[in-house]
Every structure is written in structure tokens, then in C-alpha cells.
């Protein structure tokens, strides 16, 4: 029986630990967080014959599947490589397994569609899934969006189309991945603490195109122009734009989404959908819709399914989500804006903003965002580890802007600290907001210093707004 070590017991690690015994593997799990939650999970897995250890084992199996968030220089991964073990990610393992099953005639060949980018991945993947469902296809959104691919492959149900959200972490560990269609939505500073610099981050993202049959890339993103110029020398690719499309592009003609990339002739343009089919029709989301439409067209999906799929798609929570409108003040939850690029997209939708921001900046450049958007910030409420970066940028570019710093209250359990922190944030915002303002939670930072996730951050904000403002 082949042996495998699962490095990390997060969502992906747990899914691998449960799935791989079905594939004939003897599974050992290493988890570095030795706490009550993971001890309980370890006990549960032990009853299934899966051993969990909280110290790096002396004997490391020849194959290690790593948590996507672990850096390559993690002590566990270094130890594995020193001892000659092969380290890969769950995406790489899943793709190899799927290809082997297909080659052996054990299942039909699946179509793998991949989406990456600094922002918009989850929405675009959801749109693609909705479009393919409208076309009557067996499809599932998976990967970084929530459901690990290995879970889909071992579910017992054959899903023909996998729409895979791919993070830079996941792509870093891929060497065999060959997608039928792949899209790169945008690129900006993010996860630089993990990758070391922007160029490494970009190169990880560009790995999505290795061996891809159809390449789709955002032609409006200035930081992708050099990548497009490099790719086009050796590969065929299509682009999309918020402008009127040229041949080889998807784009907008007045209020219509139009395809001039997959029509088969230079003088033909195909109407795919209307702007009114997209919710919300903000520029960044229209761009996502064009990417989703392009991926669908690359695989032969008809325009009527594209318009229906976009029309029936419901965006996820914490993405420029209106929580409340009262006394002329709009309260908006965009907790998913975990980097400056995403926050910039949120700012494009509003004018006078009470900005709630801060957390873990992950090495991203806050300066450019503040320089570009400071005139819209009527006041800032800052939290988290790297709030000083935002405070200093505001003081440089807009010294007259009021800044309120909110600290966690000591002496409380972590869950209560997070809840109380967000209550203080909302109370501070309610005292200074006035008619015409938007109170915008768009932190430009990750959440893990003070919250379990961006979702918890958004949920606590929503709860506090409804309780403290909605019931006034």
C-alpha cells in the first residue's frame, strides 16, 4: 500500500486525509497547530485509521501533499525534500490522478477549466458554473473556492466539467497541470510575503497557462501587458476588454457583451448578454462576466446559455454587499477585499466614504491605493496589525482626513474580542457618518490577525450594523 503524508490539517488537508484511503493510500497527517480543535479532529481521523502527528515524523513517506498556504521553506517541507520525498499540492495530485484514471479507462475524460487572478476569482468561477448549468452540463466549482478537487473526484459522481479556482499558492506547486481553458483576470501586489516579490507572484499566476488549450487574459490590466506580449509570441490567446472589442477580443458595445474572439471569422460579432444580466453591473464585475463568457465560448457554449447563466448567478457574500441603508447612510460589507486592488474596485462604486480598513497587508503596497483614492475618504477607521501603513499613507496624502484607531479589548476570549472590536468599529462609524456617506468595510488587508477569516470579519460587521444601527 503506497504511503502519503498530508502536511497541514486545514480544509484541503482534511479533504485529502479522508479521500486518499479510498484511492488505496496509507495516510499520515502532520499538523503543527497542537490545540483542542485539531486534537479533536485528530481523534476523529484516528477512528478512521488515519494517524495524525503534531511533531515532524522521523520517517517521511515518499509522497507529501502540502497545505496550499505553507511556504516552500516550511520546516516540514524542507525535511521532506532533504529526505528525498516528492512534495506537491492537492491540485497537482488530483490532476495526475484524474489523468491516470482516464488513461486506464476507469472514467471518461474530464474538462478542467481554471481561473486565477488577484481578485474576482470566486465570482468568475461562480459565473462559469452558472453558465454551464444553464447549458445543461454536469459542472462543479471547486479548488480555492471552497470544495477541494480531490473531494469532487472521490465523491462517486462523475462531474464532466471542473471549474477550478486557483490561488498563486496552489499554482506554485503545479508542474503537470494542463487545462482545457484558463483565464488570468488581473494582477496586483498580493501575497508578496509568501512569494518574496511581485515577479515571483506573477510567474506563479502565469503557470495556469502551461499547456492550456485556450488562454484568456484581461487586456485592460496594464500590469499584464508585458505578459501578453511575451505569451503571444509562442501561444494563441484571446483577451477581453471593457471597450469595443477588436478581432480576437470579447468586449462591450454599448450595453451588450460581444464576442469577436470565438466566432471563427474576423467580420462576425456575436451578442452574448446584456449589462442588465450582470449583478451588480459594476465595472470589475462586468470584467468578470466577460472572462466567464470567454471561457464558456472557448468550449462551445451557446450565447443563450451565457445570458441565462449570468442572469441567474447570485454573487457570494462579503463582496460589495449592502447591509443597510438608513438616514441617507449606506453600510457596505466588502470584507472579501483583502488587498488594495480589490479595495480600489470597491471605491469605484462610491463617493463619500467612511473607510474601515486594516489587518495583515501581506507585503502589498497600500501607498498607491491611498494616493489614488484619498479624496473619497471622509474619515478612516483603522484596525489590525498593519494599520500603521494605512495611517501613514493617509497622513502623507490627506492629513486633514480624520483617523480613528480601534484596538482589541484585552481580557476577553478571542471570539469575544473579535465581536467587541467590530462593535466598536461600527459605533465609531455611526457617530461620524452623515447623509450621503457610505460606511465601507473594504480592509485592503487579510483578516487572520484578528478574525478567523474574511467571512467572519464580514459577518461580525453585518451583525453589528444590524444590531447597533438598524435597531436604533
Query: Which residues have C-beta within 8 Å of that of residue 117, sequence separation ≥ 6?
Result: 124, 183, 184, 185, 186, 187, 205, 218
Q: Whose CA is closest to 471, among 355, 324, 354?
A: 324
Q: 165: which 3 cell numbers?
A: 479556482
8-state DSSP, 471:
T
- How far is Cα 197 from Cα 263, in angstroms, rounded to an integer? 39
* Residues that constitute the known binding site: 117-123
Which 3-state string (H, E, C) describes 307-341?
A: HHHHHHCCCCCCCCEEEEEECCEEEEECCCCCCHH
Element holding 428 (H helix, E strand): helix 414-432
Query: Which residues have C-beta within 8 Å of that of residue 266, sequence separation ≥ 6?
Result: 247, 260
* Residues that constitute the known binding site for ATP: 117-123
Q: Whose CA is closest to 298, among 176, 212, 186?
A: 212
- How far is Cα 119 from Cα 367, in angstroms, rounded to an integer? 19
8-state DSSP, 62:
S
Amino acid at each position: 500500500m503506497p504511503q502519503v503524508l498530508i502536511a497541514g490539517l486545514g480544509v484541503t488537508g482534511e479533504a485529502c486525509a479522508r479521500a486518499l484511503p479510498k484511492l488505496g493510500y496509507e495516510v499520515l497527517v502532520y499538523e503543527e497547530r497542537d490545540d483542542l480543535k485539531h486534537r479533536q479532529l485528530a481523534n476523529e481521523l484516528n477512528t478512521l485509521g488515519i494517524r495524525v502527528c503534531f511533531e515532524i515524523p522521523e520517517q517521511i513517506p515518499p509522497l507529501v501533499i502540502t497545505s496550499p498556504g505553507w511556504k516552500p521553506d516550511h520546516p516540514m517541507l524542507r525535511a521532506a525534500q532533504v529526505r528525498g520525498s516528492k512534495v506537491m499540492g492537492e491540485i497537482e495530485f488530483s490532476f495526475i490522478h484524474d489523468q491516470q484514471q482516464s488513461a486506464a479507462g476507469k472514467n471518461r475524460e474530464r474538462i478542467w477549466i481554471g481561473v486565477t487572478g488577484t481578485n474576482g476569482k470566486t465570482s468568475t468561477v461562480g459565473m462559469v458554473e452558472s453558465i454551464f448549468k444553464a447549458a445543461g452540463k454536469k459542472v462543479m466549482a471547486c479548488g480555492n473556492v471552497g470544495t477541494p478537487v480531490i473531494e469532487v473526484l472521490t465523491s462517486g459522481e462523475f462531474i464532466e466539467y471542473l471549474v477550478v479556482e486557483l490561488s498563486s499558492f496552489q499554482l506554485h506547486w503545479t508542474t503537470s497541470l494542463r487545462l482545457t481553458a484558463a483565464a488570468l483576470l488581473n494582477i496586483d501586489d498580493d501575497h508578496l510575503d509568501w512569494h518574496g516579490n511581485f515577479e515571483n507572484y506573477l510567474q506563479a499566476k502565469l503557470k495556469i497557462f502551461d499547456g492550456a488549450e485556450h488562454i484568456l487574459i484581461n487586456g485592460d490590466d496594464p500590469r499584464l501587458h508585458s505578459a501578453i506580449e511575451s505569451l503571444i509570441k509562442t501561444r494563441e490567446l484571446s483577451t477581453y476588454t471593457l471597450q469595443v472589442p477588436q478581432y480576437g477580443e470579447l468586449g462591450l458595445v454599448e450595453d451588450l457583451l460581444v464576442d469577436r474572439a470565438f466566432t471563427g471569422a474576423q467580420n462576425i460579432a456575436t451578442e452574448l448578454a446584456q449589462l442588465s444580466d450582470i449583478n451588480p453591473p459594476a465595472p470589475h464585475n462586468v470584467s468578470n462576466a466577460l472572462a466567464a463568457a470567454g471561457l464558456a465560448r472557448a468550449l462551445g457554449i451557446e450565447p443563450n446559455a451565457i445570458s441565462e447563466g449570468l442572469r441567474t448567478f447570485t454573487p457570494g457574500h462579503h463582496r460589495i454587499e449592502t447591509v443597510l441603508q438608513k438616514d441617507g447612510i449606506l453600510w457596505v460589507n466588502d470584507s472579501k477585499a483583502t488587498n488594495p486592488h480589490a479595495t480600489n474596485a470597491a471605491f469605484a462604486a462610491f463617493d463619500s466614504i467612511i473607510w474601515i480598513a486594516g489587518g495583515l497587508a501581506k507585503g502589498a503596497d497600500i501607498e498607491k491605493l491611498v494616493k489614488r483614492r484619498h479624496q473619497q475618504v471622509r474619515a478612516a477607521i483603522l484596525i489590525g496589525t498593519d494599520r500603521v501603513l494605512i495611517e501613514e499613507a493617509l497622513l502623507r496624502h490627506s492629513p486633514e482626513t480624520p483617523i480613528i484607531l480601534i484596538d482589541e479589548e484585552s481580557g476577553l476570549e478571542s471570539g469575544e474580542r473579535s465581536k467587541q472590536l467590530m462593535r466598536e468599529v461600527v459605533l465609531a462609524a455611526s457617530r461620524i457618518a452623515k447623509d450621503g456617506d457610505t460606511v465601507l468595510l473594504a480592509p485592503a488587508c487579510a483578516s487572520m490577525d484578528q478574525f478567523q477569516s474574511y467571512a467572519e470579519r464580514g459577518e461580525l460587521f453585518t451583525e453589528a450594523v444590524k444590531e447597533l444601527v438598524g435597531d436604533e
